[in-house]
Structure 1
Amino acid sequence: MNDEFGTDLLTLVDEEGEQHEFEVLDVIDNDEGCFYALLPTFDDPQDQLQADGTYYIFEVIDENGEEQLAEVEDEALLDRLAAEFERHFEELYDEEDELPEDGE
């Protein structure tokens, strides 16, 4: 993902019709499907400070010809995806740490 133009945000609607906004951290598209790592966002800065930084992994599913996001229910798949996302996050942060001070 490229954050050159700012943060990518998604708004999801739960079964009760409530909207929840998430920051898209990363996307994995592989033989098992397309998966998003999403971090909840908060309107209140205090809520953001109290958040534990947990992100959620969602799978793109086809619902009557329309793409939707659903929670990954297969625990083994979820573990593999979490490990892959974590590796990618580490690579991203390592690259950012290696940038010269002028950002180039």
Structure 2
Amino acid sequence: MDGVVTLVDEDGVEHGFEIIDMVELDGAQYVAVVPADEEPEEEDESDELVLLKVVAEGVEEFLEAIESEEEFNRVSAVFMERLKDDYDFVEGEE
């Protein structure tokens, strides 16, 4: 899995995301994606890094949200360490 993937939101709208990193942790694979630039000349400094779990069903692979807060925290710590030189991380507002 690499390049740009298309994800469909809850309203059925398709969005392109660029895979920027992939990691295996505790026997599962995870990807970090950012919204794909539709117009490269417009740099948006506030792009969100989205973390998803790779789930295999037969020969097909799907991406799904990480539901467990504990699992998400472990995965995000790994990606933050791996990507710290390329991205500035800001804790989400509650």
TM-score, normalised with respect to structure 1? 0.66
The answer to whether 1:72 aligns with 2:61 is: no
Q: Which runs of 5+ in 2 are unaligned?
A: 87-94
The answer to which structure, 1 or 2, has the higher relative contact order (CA under 8 A, 6+ apart) is: 2
**Take 1:13 and 1:67, find their aligned partners in 2: how far apart are those partners?**
15
- CA RMSD, Structure 1 to Structure 2 (Å): 2.3
Q: Where do 1:1-104 residues align within 5 Å?
A: 8-44=3-39, 45-46=41-42, 48-49=43-44, 52-63=46-57, 65=58, 66-90=60-84, 93=86
Q: Which runs of 5+ in 1 are unaligned?
A: 1-6, 94-104
**Would you identify which runs of 4 or more consecutive aligned residues in structure 1 move more than 4 Å?**
none
| Higher helix proportion | 1
SS of equivalent to 1:85: helix
Larger Rg: 1
- State, as a whole percentage, how many aligned pairs show the same letter: 29
SS of equivalent to 1:82: helix
